[in-house]
Amino acid sequence: MGNYPADLKYTKEHEWARIEGNRARVGITAYAQEQLGDVVFVELPKVGATVSQMQTFGVVESVKAVSDLYAPLSGGVVEVNAELVKKPELVNQDPYGKGWMLLIAVSDATEVDALLTAPQYEEFLATAGH
Amino acid sequence: MPERSEAPLKRTPLYAVHVKAGARMVPFGGWEMPLQYAGIVEEHRAVRRAVGLFDVSHMGEFEISGPGALAVLQPLTTNDVGALAVGQVQYSLLCYPDGGIVDDLTVYRLGDDRFMLTVNAANIDRDWAWVTGQGQGDCRWKNRSDETALLAVQGPRAEGLVGRLADTDVTRIGYYRFARGTVAGSAAIISRTGYTGEDGFELYAEAREAESLWYALLDAGKDDGIMPVGLGARDTLRLEMKYALYGNDIDHTTNPIEAGLGWVVKLSKGEFIGRTAIEKIKAEGPRRKLVGFEMVDRAVARHGYRVLKGGLEIGVVTSGSYGPQVDRYIGMGYVATAHSKVGDEIEVEVRGKAQQAKVVQTPFYPSKVKKG
C-alpha cells in the first residue's frame, strides 16, 4: 500500500497510465490489485482495437471477483501484455512493471488533464475512494 | 449470498484474532468472516502441501438426546442414522416433502441416545425451526451453536500436528469417526472430517477455549508450515473436490438425486421427509445432473452463468473459479442429463460469449482423505 509512483497518472477506477511520448502504458494500481486479491484471469483487447477514455477495455478476475477495466485515455491499442494470459499473477507481483496491460497510441493528449496525479489519487483513496 | 443490511453481522469467538492477523473480513451468510490472510492461492496450496487452520465456528451445532432421539432423527434426515455407531459421523441431508434440500449436514452419534448435528451457518435459524418443529418425540433439542467453536486442521501434516497436542492417539481415529479428548489442554471432539479433500480434523471446543486452541495449533504447526486459511481458500479447496456448497450448488430448488447425493439417501431405511418425491425422481431419472467441468477456452465460469450447447440453454453454473492446485479454470453446474457424461462438450456463457468447456471426471484433484 502507499505505492503510487509520481510519474504516473491515475483514474478513480484504479488504473494508471504512464505517458511515453505520444503513447501511454496502462495497468491497474497497487491498491486495485491488493483489493482484488490473487488475479487469475485478465481479458484484454486485441492489438488494433480502439479504446475510449473511461470506457471498459477488458476484465480482470481474481479468485472471488470480476472487475471491469477502464481506459485512462483514448487511442488505438498498439501492444498488449501477452504474458498476462499465462501469468496473470504478474498484476499482483509487479502492478507498475511486468503487470502492465496495454500500450496505446494516445489520440487526444488533452485527456491527460482529466487524470489524477499521484498525490490526488492518494487523497482520493484516503477520502471518497472506496 | 445476499446480506440483510438491517441485521448486524455475527462474529465467531475468533473475530479479534482474525483482525489482529490482518485478515480481510467479509460478510458471509450473516457472519463477519475472514476471506483471506496471506492470499487465497497461497493458503490453498499450503493446505494441499502442508497444513492449514480454519475458523469455521460460524457453523451450527444442535444436540438431541433422549430415548426417542433416533426415532426423531430418522424421518428428518435422508441417510440412515440407525447405521451410525457411537463415535461415528455421517454426511446427510434435511429435505422438504418435495425433495428440495433444507440443508446438508453431518450427524455425530455421541452416545446411544445422543447425537449432534452440524449445519451450515447461514441456515442455523431456519434449520433449528425445522428440526424442532418436525422433530417431536421423547427427546430434548439443544442449540449449542453459540457456545461451540469449530476449528478445522487440514492437510498432510494435520495428523502429526494434532497428534502432538492431543492426549489421545489420533492415528486411531478413522475417517468420519471422532474421539473425545483434549487438544493443547482444551476439551474437544476430535473429528476426522473436513471440507478440503485432505486428511485432517475438525475440532469442536468450548467457545471460550477457541483463542488458546487457535494459537496453540499455529504455534505447534510453525515448522510444518501451517497457515491460517480463510473462506476464500475453503471455497476453492472444496471446489477442487466437487463438494457441494449449500446456497451455491444445492438449495431448496435442487434435489439430492440430480445433485449426485443419492449415496446419502437411504430409501430402504423407512419413512422420511421427501422420500416419496425422491423415490419418484430416482425411478424416472433426473432431468439434469450436477457435473464438474473444465474450461477449454480461457475464461472463468461463475455462479449463475448459463450453460449452453449449440446456442441453446442446457443448464446453469453453480460454482466456478480458478483451481489453484489443478491450475485450471474449473466449475460445477446443473446440465441436462443428455449432456452430462464425462467428455461431453458444453459451453459457458461468459459476458455474452459462449466459451468452450467439457464435462470431466471429478474430483478435479484426487482426494487424500484417509478412508478405511
Chain A residues with CB-CB distance to B240 below 8 A:
none
Q: Mind listing the domains of chain B with CATH numbers?
A: 15-59+147-240 (3.30.1360.120), 60-141 (3.30.70.1400), 287-360 (2.40.30.110)
For chain B, give the mean pLDDT: 96
Q: Each residue of B193-221: pLDDT tens digit? A: 999 999 999 999 999 999 999 999 999 99
A44: containing domain? 9-107+114-127
3-state SS, B17-45, equals HHHHCCCEEEEECCEEEEEECCCHHHHHH
Minimal C-alpha gap between B344 and chain A (Å): 25
Residues 284-343 of B with CB under 8 A from A: 298-300, 302, 321-322, 324, 329
- What value does the mean pLDDT take over residues B93-97? 98
- What value does the mean pLDDT take over residues A11-18? 97
Closest CA to B151 of B248, B220, B91, B247: B220
Would you call A108 an interface residue with chain B, using a CB distance cutoff of 8 Å? no
What residue ranges in chain B does DSSP mark as E strands?
24-28, 31-36, 52-55, 60-65, 89-95, 101-111, 114-119, 140-143, 148-154, 178-183, 186-191, 200-206, 227-229, 288-295, 306-309, 312-323, 328-336, 345-350, 353-360
* pLDDT tier for residue B134 given thresholds of 50, 70 and 90: confident
Tell me the pTM. 0.95
The distance in angstroms from the start CA to the end CA of chain A is: 14
Whether residue A1 has pLDDT greater than 60: no
Domain-embedded: residue A26: yes
Minimal C-alpha gap between A113 and chain B (Å): 32
Domain-embedded: residue A48: yes
Alpha-carbon distance of B124 to B104, in angstroms, equals 11
Domain-embedded: residue A69: yes
Least confident of A64-73, B3-12, B82-91, B347-356: B3-12
CB contact under 8 A, A37 and B232: yes
The three-class DSSP label of residue B248 is coil
CB contact under 8 A, A41 and B298: yes
Q: Given this model, what pLDDT does residue B5 score?
A: 56
Would you call A66 an interface residue with chain B, using a CB distance cutoff of 8 Å? yes
Domain-embedded: residue A55: yes
Chain A residues with CB-CB distance to B236 below 8 A:
63
Domain-embedded: residue A49: yes
* pLDDT tier for residue B371 given thresholds of 50, 70 and 90: confident
Chain B residues with CB-CB distance to A38 below 8 A:
39-42, 324
Chain A residues with CB-CB distance to B299 below 8 A:
41, 43
- What value does the mean pLDDT take over residues B120-132? 97
Residues 231-290 of B with CB under 8 A from A: 232, 236
Q: Each residue of B270-317: pLDDT tens digit? A: 999 999 999 999 999 999 999 999 999 999 999 999 999 998 999 999
Domain-embedded: residue A4: no
Chain B residues with CB-CB distance to A41 below 8 A:
298-300, 322, 329
For chain A, how many structural domains are there in total? 1
DSSP category for residue A71: -
Q: Each residue of A72-111: pLDDT tens digit? A: 999 999 999 999 999 999 999 999 999 999 999 999 999 9
